[in-house]
Amino acid sequence: MARTRDSLPSGTIVGNYRICRTIGKGGFSLIYLAVDEETGDEVVVKEYMPKKLARRTESLQLVPLEDKDAERVYRGRKLFFQEARALASLRHPNIVQVRGFFLANNTGYMVMQYERGKNLGSYIHERKGGLSTSFVFQVFLPILDALALIHSRSLLHLDVKPGNIHLRHGNDPLLLDFGAAQLLSHGHLPSGQVISAGYSPVEQYYRGAPMGPWTDVYAVGASIRTCIEGKTPPPAIQRQNPDTLTPATRQFRDRYPQFLLETVDRAMDMDPKRRPQHAGELLRALQQFSDEVPRSRRLEA
């Protein structure tokens, strides 16, 4: 009898890792807390398991839901390993560290360093927004520095959002989930696939629409706005003809510095050409004002 897209049971051994529990689910993957049987270290194990294309058998093997899905499952697994290799090549203190990746159960697994802390998305929800300017700088300057490295390697993250930012001790951020990451090579521009409503710009909704580092820039601007407003911005597809989103410079002008609000509005511009064109440009735009943030408030939320 076939199983559904269930998580691996607690205690399952995959490679050298013992599964403890499921800690996350996405459209194309399941994420587990696990223990390295050789070292005893806690790790995060990400399993390629596309929700709409595959199922798990009683013997825990991944198989396509239907024969016609086999090619898409194979191609997705190949992209999963491309993600793992790309991520393993990135060395940055604010990018999740990959310890290894391997094939088992007819699917792929990526092993990452486990870091204690809290999820930015959950934290915003708990605080109902209104997070301080100093907090925004503390989190997003390192995130933009990490994205600048990603962009310099001709990679796009394509799923930046509060739910993919982990806050370690002292609100030290870690950028997670490169499952949507794509490579820009030989002038090729990827087509839209993964959509995170509110954080994906309009070009991500249309297959074949030009995407680039400016696509991640929109997502960062939307994430900062969420820190301020306490709720996800409307989907970009709903901001067309006309754009009904009130600019941050108007809606929050009495609560936040003008330069920050202007930067958010520019990053979230519907026209990709009017946004900062890559993370480094957005980072420099914020850094030039970083000294204006009171040092006594840098650790406040």
Cα 144 to its chain centre, rounded Å, is: 12
Amino acid of residue 99: R
- pLDDT tens column, 182-235: 666 534 444 446 789 999 999 999 888 889 999 999 999 999 999 999 999 999
Domain boundaries, the chain: 13-113, 118-297
Residue among 234, 154, 244, 231 at smallest CA distance from 198: 234
Domain 13-113, classified CATH 3.40.50.300, yes or no: no
Q: What is the pLDDT, as a whole number, of residue 190? A: 47
From residue 230, give the alpha-carbon distance in Å to each of 71, 94, 130, 152, 255.
Answer: 41, 24, 7, 31, 14
Q: State the Cα–Cα distance between residues 55 and 71, nearest whole angstrom.
A: 15
Q: State the Cα–Cα distance between residues 268 and 154, nearest whole angstrom.
A: 22
List of residues 6+ apart from 36 with CB closer than 8 A: 16, 17, 42, 43
Comparing 277 with 97, the larger pLDDT belongs to: 277
- pLDDT tens column, 250-273: 999 999 999 999 999 999 999 999
Strands 165-167 and 173-175: antiparallel
Per-position b or e across 251-278, b if 16+ CB within 10 A of its CB: bbeeebeeebbebbbbbbbbebeebbeb
Q: What is the pLDDT, as a whole number, of residue 191? A: 44
- When the candidates are 1.10.510.10, 1.10.1760.20, 2.40.180.10, 3.40.50.300, the CATH number that belongs to 118-297 is 1.10.510.10
The rounded mean pLDDT for the chain is 88
List of residues 6+ apart from 68 with CB closer than 8 A: none
Prediction pTM value:
0.85
Q: What is the pLDDT, as a whole number, of residue 183? A: 63
- pLDDT tens column, 242-251: 898 999 999 9
Is 13-113's fold the same as 118-297's? no
